[in-house]
Amino acid sequence: MKYAIETYKCRLEISEELVTILNTPEAAARIAREIFNDLDQDQEHLVIIAMNGKHHIIGFKNLFTGTVDRSEVGPREVFRASLVLGASFIIWVHNHPSGETRPSPDDQVTHKLLQRLGEELNIRVLDGIILGHGKYWSITHNFEVKGV
């Protein structure tokens, strides 16, 4: 019997002028914008950004591409990618093609679930960022910022 093993792929290509230490929601939103620039804007996507213990970015993974108003998130996939990347911290990011950044009830539930499960795995979920048209929402800090 033969087995084929596919390697796990992740990518990190960030502009040099952008900060690579994620210690604020604004820094996370700027990095997320760079990642989301390469994704279709008419669909929801969910990406995790992985960091080491000093909050330096070590990689990211686009986990889900959904429809115009839904991207199903599975905690198993989020933490599988986090573990493979060797993350100590993660930020999960998704976009709302409508441009509205306010988190849905599902977004709130997902964030709490990921935080709780992350604690069990010793991977701290620092934030959930929702990108809209020229603005973002930080679920952890519960505010919207325009101009990013």
25-146: in CATH 3.40.190.10: no
Instruction: Look up residue 77 and give its two tokens.
Output: 């996939």
Residue 62 above 80 pLDDT? yes
| Statement: residue 14 has pLDDT above 60 | no
**Parallel, antiparallel, or unpaired for β 89-95 and 124-132?**
parallel
Q: Is the pLDDT of residue 113 over 80?
A: yes
Give yes or no for a contact between 49 and 32, defined as CB atoms under 8 angstroms apart. Answer: yes
What is the percentage of the chain residues whose pLDDT exceeds 70?
Answer: 84
Segments of 30-88 assigned E as strands: 45-51, 57-65
pTM: 0.85
Q: Which amino acid is at 81?
A: A
* Sheet containing strand 89-95, strands side by side: 57-65, 45-51, 89-95, 124-132, 135-138, 143-146
Q: How confident is the model at residue 68 (pLDDT cuts 50, 70, 90)?
A: low
Q: Return the half-sphere exposure (C-beta side, CA atoms, 13 A cut-off) of residue 15.
A: 11
Instruction: Give me the mean pLDDT over the 70-74 stretch.
Output: 73
Q: What are phi and psi of 115, to 5 degrees?
A: -65, -45
Q: Is the dihedral of CA 13, 21, 112, 94 positive or negative?
A: negative
> In DSSP terms, which residues pair with 65 in a beta bridge?
45
